[in-house]
Structure 1
Amino acid sequence: MSQIAGTRARLVWAVNLAALLLVLLWTVPTFGLLVSSVRDRDQIAASGWWKAAFPSTASAFVRAGGADTAVQEGDLWVISGTVLEKGQRLDAWGVTSRAPEAYRPGETAALKDGQSLTVAADGSYRLTSPTAFAGGRGMRIFVTTTVPPRVTTENYARVIGAEGLGQAFLNTLTVTIPATVIPILIAAFAAYALAWMEFPGRALLIAVVVGLLVVPLQLALIPLLKLHNDIGIGKGYMGIWLAHTGFGLPLAIYLLRNYMVGLPREIIESARVDGATEFQIFRRIILPLSFPALASFAIFQFLWVWNDLLVATVFLGNRHDQLVMTGVLRELMGSRGGDWEILAASAFVSIAVPLLVFFAMQKYLVRGLLAGSVKGG
């Protein structure tokens, strides 16, 4: 026995290391998503989120003014302007994409037809020509700049306002809260009956609940939608509440039943001797003692419904006023695939509420899962 105990003690470090790796596996990307959501497009394109606290180098081109902006100064025609935005510092510049860093700030490039271009350290440029400029579009000036780190909340303002995520947030709350509460209420009654009440067919019902845990919900989507249409529910909040309730009940009943069956029998028998009804025992004894299991399932169900897209698409619809947050993010991925700052802000808004729920109730999640996994009857 001492060898077994010693072996287990030596493996503690491996368990702790695995737990730490799992925490990092989820925490690091989430933190990176938060950092990216407060950076602008240029910063995201120039460097990774882990470099957000340091200045970044970016390369781009700026088009000089056209011929219509030229002014005559003595014998020369001059086009002037700036190649920098606020906060940028010029490192190098060029006139071709093959040599974008050919010149240092303050140097002059000799161009064709006697033209010349000078770009100063402050970003101001001066393009001169001995003859009038021709053509409508100005030449391209390639610049390499250093951009200081900066934080912006414009991404969140665009997402919540212009991108329609605010309405989707309310739609998701409208779906998630009832779809979490209703299964818990029903499953708590069913779990108590299967755990502490004797009636014919109880063992068969328990077997059916366990069997339903392995049935893919995709098999039931179309038949259930057809049933909703036949009975007049159609697509709407009532339909999606009932769908999530049906899909979540097997796991809820299984977890709560395994937890309740492990509660002290003496307490329940004493209550029955004192004349308490089954409903009084359930309400005053079972529910308070089963709070960890109820909370653990509530976390599971809340996260599942909040992050759901398939069930919402089938039972709620695809109109803009019906979309949940995952539906809006899907549209943003399709239409704004290059706007990573918008996608990062949208994604972080969508996970903010589940993170708050998880961290607020995580201790109940662990207690409920451990109790439900080792107790049975």
Structure 2
Amino acid sequence: MTTAAAAETAPKPEPREAKDESPAKESLASRVGRYAGGGAVRAFLVIVAFLWLTPTVGLLLSSFRDPADIATTGWWKVFGDPGQLTTDTYDTLFGNEDVMGALPTTVWITVPSTLLVVVIGALAGYAFAWMDFPGRDWVFLAVVCLLVVPVQVALIPVASLYRDLNLFHTITGVVLFHTAFGLPFAIFLLRNFFAEIPRELLEAARIDGAGELRLFFRVVMPLGGPAIAALGIFQFLWVWNDMLVALVFADPGKPPLTVAVQQQTRQFDSNIELIASGAFISMIIPLVVFFAFQRQFVSGVMAGAVK
């Protein structure tokens, strides 16, 4: 009886309020993010890619067309009349000494400019990331400030310097110019990437007796492969497609490919077939390089851009 009475006198628990099971109101940002992953955005990206590739396809088809057809109709007429396609334009291009002779000059300018920027930029990036020396942060700040200096500002001073040093109209002068203007970005990119390497890994290598150079080549360089590949692609594309620096400093008698194609426009009526095919040859090589190292390019840029 005592137990029953106590149970009757005990306060009864208050009933819990019914849970509001209505879904929370979705914010505008979440709705935009949800729609961004849907098919509409993918379709938009496909359209953008199609528009981006259209000039490339048009240049490719124009390079296989007869000069008379190029002068009278658009390149899209090929789809209705495939008989317009011919390889005579490339036969003419490969027989033109002015354009084909510019291809080795372009290689001699692009390859050293890329290698020098990669090697010097990697060494400087490692020094700024892991070596202590007086004024390191101030020097790195000065290097970062050089990123905003346009090429046009240095054309006249460098031309005057090259004239005194007999570097005007030489491949060496063009390579040095591209190297100097490529180093600020190279140092900035690789320094940020190398700074993300775990300190314990470097200290363990030093304990094992590795010096700075051995540490750089055996540990840092293999880990920095993605960033180095991205830098190499950046520098290669910039130098290969450059025309301003080549017009000012390169030898007019042995110009790179971009200048050689530009010179053909002076005789547009007679050399129209060389312009399309030469421009496509000049464009396809950097495209092949980019797509061949696309994965390293993306991973290197993403890793080097985050500190």
TM-score range, shorter chain: 0.7 to 0.9
Task: Identify the residue that residue 362 of structure 1 maps to in structure 2.
Answer: 294
Q: Is the counterpart of residue 331 in structure 1 residue 263 in structure 2?
A: yes
Pair 1:32 & 2:58 matched: yes
Contact 2:189 2:304 in 1 (8 A): yes
State yes or no: 1:51 paired with 2:77.
yes
- Report the CA distance shift for 1:149/1:53 in structure 2 as closer, same or farther (over 3 A): farther
Give CA-to-partner distance per residue, 1:70-117, whole Å, 9 cap, x none. Answer: xxxxxxxxxxxxxxxxxxxxxxxxxxxxxxxxxxxxxxxxxxxxxxxx
Q: Is residue 301 of structure 2 the alignment partner of residue 276 of structure 1?
A: no
The alignment status of 1:253 with 2:187, answered yes or no, reads yes
Larger fraction in helix? 2
Contact 1:299 1:358 in 2 (8 A): yes
User: TM-score, normalising length from structure 1?
Assistant: 0.70
Counterpart Cα distance in 2 of 1:30 and 1:353: 13
TM-score by length of 2: 0.85
Bigger Rg over Cα: 1
Relative contact order, higher structure (CA 8 A, sep 6+)? 2
Q: Helix, strand or coil: the match of 1:164? A: helix
Residue in 2 that maps onto 1:241: 175
Q: What percent identity do the matched residue pairs reach?
A: 42
Q: Hey, which of these two has a bigger chunk of strand by percent?
A: 1
Name the structure 2 match of 1:167. 101
CA shift, 1:273, in A, is 2.0
Paired residue type of 1:196: W
Gap runs ≥5 in structure 1? 56-147
Change (3 A) 1:228 1:47: closer
Contact 2:78/2:85 (<8 A) preserved: no
SS state of the match for residue 367, structure 1?
helix
Q: Residues 2-34 of structure 1, C-alpha deviation per residue, up to 9 Å, x if partnerless?
A: 856664232234654554344223312111111
In structure 2, do the counterparts of structure 1 residues 269 and 15 end up closer, same or farther at CA, with 3 Å as the change threshold? farther
Cα deviation per residue 1:200-231 (whole Å; 9 max; x = unaligned)?
A: 11111111111000001111122112222323
Contact 1:53/1:149 (8 A) holds in 2: no
Query: Equivalents in 1 of 2:44, 2:161: separation in Å?
Result: 46
Of 333-342 and 287-296, deviating more is: 333-342
Aligned equivalent of 2:36 = 11
Q: Matches of 1:19 and 1:178 in 2, distance apart? A: 37
Amino acid at match of 2:227: A
Contact 1:178-1:241 within 8 A present in 2 as well: yes
Partner of 1:292: 226
The match for 1:145 is: none
2:147 alignment partner in structure 1: 213
Does residue 315 of the first structure (1) align with residue 249 of the second (2)? yes
Contact 2:90 2:277 in 1 (8 A): yes
Letter in 1 for 2:261: L
Question: What amino acid is aligned across from residue 155 of structure 2 in structure 1?
Answer: L
Structure 2 counterpart of 1:266, which letter?
A: E
Q: Give the SS at the match of 2:222.
A: helix
Q: Which amino acid aligns with 1:201?
A: G
- The alignment of Structure 1 onto Structure 2 pairs a total of residues equal to 281
State the shift of 1:253 in Å: 0.6
CA distance in 1: counterparts of 2:42 and 2:194, whole angstroms: 30
Contact 1:183 1:249 in 2 (8 A): yes
Residue type matched to 1:369 in 2? V
Distance 1:15 1:364 in 2: 25
